[in-house]
Amino acid sequence: MRSVAITGLGFVTSIGNDRAAVSRSLREGLTGLAPVQFLGNPRLPVRVAGTVKEFVTDSASWRDWRYPSRYALPRDALRSLAPHGLYALCAVEQALADTRLTAADLTDGSTGLYCASAGSAFLLHHHLAQLHAVKGERGNPLGVVSSIAGTLNFNLAAHYQIRGAVGGFAAACASSTHALGSALDEIRLGRQDRMLVVGAEEMNAETVLPFAAMRALSTQTDPALASRPFDRGRDGFVAAGGAVCMIVEERGLAEARGAPIYGLLRGWGQAADGYNVVMPHPEGAGLIEAMRRALRDAAVEPAEVDYVNAHATSTPAGDRAEALAIRAVFAASRPVVSSTKGLTGHPLSMSGLMEAAFCAVGLAEGFTPGNSQLADPDPVCADLNLPRAALTQPPRLILKNSSGFGGSNVCLVISAA
């Protein structure tokens, strides 16, 4: 079976909009969370979010958007994008430059594209409001492709003229990890030589506030206290936006063209809880099985894993279930465990890919992310190996966890090259 290498990364995140900024934030524990006010309403209980810096996308018209001048983006590409599509396009441009590819290298059918996003609730609301205002007599001809859940793969595949496998994944907060695992299989099975995997989400009222109605969001007003995975005082997740692109390809081909290799995707596994539409299984039953399946797929033993990048979003039930699951799988060992969402917040469907990319940066640059926001570990989590600060040595073998609504659990195994 073919070996699969991580060869390119691109970031638009709350903790940085390029690899250097992301690396510094992870090493030094620099938060991307900031005070926000949604809909001009100071009475709303949600007052902190993982904000996207350098971009202004609060208008429904792409003509009003502002983004860093280093990106030369054609107007035709912007016309059918949602705000998170703009982030995604910039992340792809970064990743292509990082792996030393051009757009022309993507068009021969050997490269595919898998994406994850929930679509743009912001643009969908805008277009439907316009439709109702004129009683259905007019509408934006690009309204559908700019706003529904497949908008990333529609737009990016067309823009880059990708002729390989193209698809989108919608499994809530496990979506981009599904996309990356499926991309791994495309290459291992010889269907594709290279895959672009992209995850992106918006950080606006339409995306964030529905979670407040579920009482899933933190009500803290201090960014330093709002996202605290595994902490006794955690009270919900902090929403975030942005985009990440990871380029993976068959290792031999990557080495032949002199591409940088961050690490290897070794295997993946998935399993569902079969328990509740919103809540995780109390003992993390589905996550336990997903972790074990990923380790079997990678042909490694739990004792070989020295770092678990946790899904932990800072919700009371979710972090507890994941802590119990990790303890069950690693009963005979004690790997380092951390959740980078303490710094970034939780960018929903893109979180798994983002965190896998953080792991790749750690492998390449020689560090392991810590739990900088953790002050008082919950007793159910306290026996996990939870370093506060980033460690100055890289892991050798990583297990990356993701979980989503409906009990979807997806895990990846990543190793040094």
Catalytic residues, by residue number, are 173, 311, 346
Residues 6+ apart with CB under 8 A from 147: 82, 119, 120, 123, 124, 127
379 by Cβ neighbours in 10 Å (0-12 / 13-18 / 19+) ranks as: exposed
- Give 392: exposed, middle or buried? Use CB within 10 Å, 0-12, 13-18, 19+: exposed
User: What backbone torsions phi and psi does residue 206 show, to the nearest 5 degrees?
Assistant: -65, -30
Q: How many CB atoms lie within 10 A of CB 408?
A: 22
Encoding tokens for residue 327?
């303890």
Query: In the structure, how many helices (H) and strands (E) does the chain have?
Result: 14, 12
45 CB-near residues (< 8 Å, 6+ apart): 212, 217, 219
Distances (CA, A) of 122 to 59, 85, 89: 10, 12, 18
> What is the three-class DSSP state of 33?
strand
3-state helix, strand, coil in the chain (%, to 5): 35, 20, 40
- Of the candidates 346, 342, 345, 335, the one whose C-alpha atom is nearest the C-alpha of residue 372 is 342
The set of residues, in sequence order, having a beta carbon less than 8 Å from that of 335 and lying 6+ positions away, is 305, 306, 307, 308, 385, 399
